[in-house]
A and B are shown apart, each in its own frame.
Chain A
Amino acid sequence: MIFLDNLINGLSLGSIYAIIALGYTMVYGIAKMLNFAHGDVIMIGAYIAFCGLQYWGLPPVIAILAAMAVCTLLGVTIEGLAYRPLRQATSLAVLITAIGMSYLLQNIALMIWGANPKSFPRTFINGASIRIGQLNISSATIWTILANIVIMVALTLFTAKTKMGKAMRCVSEDRGAAELMGINVNRTISMTFAIGSALAAIAGVLLCSSYPILQPTTGSMPGIKAFTAAVFGGIGSIPGAMIGGVLLGVIEIFGKAYISTELGDAIVFAVLIVVLLVKPTGLLGKPVREKV
């Protein structure tokens, strides 16, 4: 019973990591960069949803849509202003810019909303919990797992069937060749950021529905862990991000429950180091050959 309870908690946490990890993995696959600021886009999304619910009195669905719209715009703007000028630069320069962007977003949030924590309001997502036998499953858990499955299926279909999705796969395979074939690389990368950031808004709402505290640093720890999940699953791979996220969530909860709550985070990061040692490309990642 306790085991089942922990498993469900792990799946719920892991599903949130998975949705965040998707954003990292898509951007890495296509733009070949670590978007360090992704976790902070999540935080902005959660704040917008909070404002919608608490100050503007919007219905939950509209608030979430507003958050998605703002985040999409934000993601595309960040890409255009900060990352596009560095398309030819070394990965070190891009990474440092992304870290700068992450700090910029946190500090802007600090100026707008202050350092005092806010409690995320109740919506249909975190309503009454459901009782099955002796198990209590919170409705946020159910919504998170559902959202995870829907997003996974939709993204797989999108990349496999639509023209834009195919373009994305082309760019990720070989940017130069894609450009020669008439694919607009900049637009494709912008589109990737748009989708990733819209998902970030959903992740933000789900994150804050499960753990209803909102601060300017809310996105950073889940962001770093989700990134770990993306590396775990094989960065660049969409199913990899899903599996990596869910597994990491389960490992974190089990580690806390059966090993020690003190070392929960250390266990998560130790997993990352072990994975990189044993299989540097992650669970589902493809080995990359470098050409001269």
Chain B
Amino acid sequence: MKKVFALLMAACMLLCGVSALADEAVTLKIAHIGPTTGAAALYGLATLHGAEIAAQEINDANGAFKIELINEDDEHNVEKVINAYNAALDAGAQMILGTTTSKPCEAAGAQGYVDRVFFLTPSASSTAVIEDKDNVFQICFTDPNQGSASAQYIAEHGLGTKIAVIYNNADVYSTGIRDTFVAEAADKGLEIVSETTFTDETTDFSVQVADAQNNGAEIVFLPMYYTPASLILKVAADKDYHPIFFGVDGMDGILGVEGFDTSLAEGVMLLTPFVATASDEKTVNFVAKYQEAYGEIPIQFAADAYDGIYILVAAAEKAGITSDMEPEEVCDLMIAAMQEISVDGLTGSMTWDESGAVTKTPMAATIVNGEYVFE
């Protein structure tokens, strides 16, 4: 009898506690989905860590919202991502911050469209991620957007007219940027004099660089991540070939590769919404916290996810989300709210339309003496 009484008391206290909290703060259950193991773990861990820092800040601030972050690993795999998504919903997630990479996001987003679950992806940038789905929003630029912005920048600043493009034809990101870059370049009167490809396993870039050099390219456009880019810079240096190398946001991180001779990257230009060496207060604060917690300099993916948590909170506030809402209910409210909010984050000030694509302005940086310099 005593036991039953004690249990009743405990239950009562718990209930009181919950109701007391409910007056003060709404707990949002957000699932981060990304590759935290495997070959793309670098990106998944970055988004997870960025989100963790933002969630910590919000929880410490004791404001109107608390964040409960659930993490599920998708191994950058289209099959596993569905398992991760289902596991997140089983764990009670109300909305998804993710997924980190494009192809898995396309698959999970489509499933979420059927189930009515809201997705905000920090870094999945292909157009297929948001196409035909009203439930998915992006924080990063879409790939076509980056491609055309790069071509416009090159044309407007008169960097040169003969351009070589080297891209990864086995990669959605790389081909997506390349397609619009080539189309926009033609409109702006830029001439593509050389176009060559590679795949994920390629390490020999001598043919690609030689083709650019022999066709007299003044600018080499590199829509790719930094690993192959570092090999291309090395080959070009060996061939005594010094055009302007123009990269995209995937190039961010090249200076952090262990053992990389940063003098090879001297003069490389890139369009990116975030650099860790920027001196504004927000960035400095974020980079310091990130370094303290994880011992490394955050890449752009981390900044995107950090913004992502704040965006979700802003939208949830607008939409009036409460702790006990089901994902289906949350989804439609969030979709409406996303189109009304405007968020000033680490990666610029952002607004969204119904397509789910973000509007923000990219910044062009040049690498000088091993550091990014903005114009």
Contact = CB atoms under 8 A, between A and B. Distances in A.
Q: Do chains A and B touch in the complex (CB under 8 A)?
A: yes
Contact of A253 (B204, B227, B234): B204
A259 to B, nearest CB: 11
Contacts of B199: 265
A39 to B, nearest CB: 12
A54 B198 contact: no
B291 to A, nearest CB: 16
B42 A115 contact: yes
Interface in A183-232: 207, 210-215, 217-218, 221-222
A9 B210 contact: yes
A106 to B, nearest CB: 11
Interface string B194-212: 0011110111101110110
A256 B234 contact: no
B374 interface: no
A211 B232 CA distance: 9
A261 interface: yes
A214 B234 CA distance: 14
Contacts of A221: 201, 203
Contacts of B240: 129, 131, 136
A116 B42 contact: yes
Given A119-B258, A119-B261, A136-B240, A261 B197 contact: yes
Interface size class, chain B: 20 to 34
Nearest to A254: B207
B20 interface: no
Contact of A118 (B211, B214, B259): B259
B230 A2 contact: no
A138 interface: yes
Interface in B253-309: 257-261
A57 interface: no
B375 interface: no
B231 to A, nearest CB: 6
B41 interface: yes
Given A115-B42, A221-B201, A121 B206 contact: no
A122 B227 contact: no
Given A119-B230, A213-B231, A261 B257 contact: no
B239 interface: yes
A144 B187 CA distance: 45
A258 to B, nearest CB: 9
Contacts of A6: 206-207, 210
Given A211-B231, A253-B206, A261-B197, A54 B211 contact: no
A117 B210 CA distance: 25
A6 B196 CA distance: 15
Contacts of B231: 211-213
Q: Which of A50, A131, A222, A261 has the most CB of B within 10 A?
A: A261
B5 to A, nearest CB: 53
Contact of B207 (A121, A257, A265): A257
Interface residues of A, number: 42
Contacts of B197: 261-262
Q: DSSP class of B's interface residues: helix, strand, loop or mixed?
A: mixed
Interface in B212-229: 214, 227
A261 B208 contact: yes
B196 A261 contact: yes
B203 A256 contact: no
B251 to A, nearest CB: 14
Nearest to B39: A115
Contact of A119 (B41, B203, B239, B257): B257
A210 B234 CA distance: 9
A13 interface: yes
Nearest to B40: A115
Given A118-B258, A119-B257, A129-B240, A265 B201 contact: yes
A264 B170 CA distance: 13
Contact of A122 (B201, B208, B214, B261): B261
A121 B259 CA distance: 5
A50 B41 CA distance: 22
B166 to A, nearest CB: 9
A36 interface: no
A179 interface: no
Contacts of B169: 262
Interface string A120-140: 111000100101000010101
A210 B258 CA distance: 17
Contacts of A212: 230-231, 234, 259
30 contacts: A2-B214, A5-B206, A6-B210, A9-B206, A9-B207, A9-B210, A13-B204, A50-B259, A53-B259, A54-B258, A115-B42, A116-B42, A117-B227, A118-B257, A119-B230, A119-B259, A119-B261, A122-B261, A126-B238, A129-B240, A211-B203, A213-B203, A213-B227, A215-B227, A221-B203, A252-B204, A253-B204, A253-B207, A261-B208, A265-B199
Given A136-B239, A211-B231, 7 more contacts: A12-B206, A54-B258, A117-B257, A211-B203, A252-B204, A253-B206, A256-B208
Interface of B: 38-39, 41-42, 169, 196-199, 201-204, 206-208, 210-211, 214, 227, 230-231, 234, 238-240, 257-261
Interface of A: 2, 5-6, 9, 12-13, 50, 53-54, 115-122, 126, 129, 131, 136, 138, 140, 207, 210-215, 217-218, 221-222, 252-253, 256-257, 261-262, 264-265
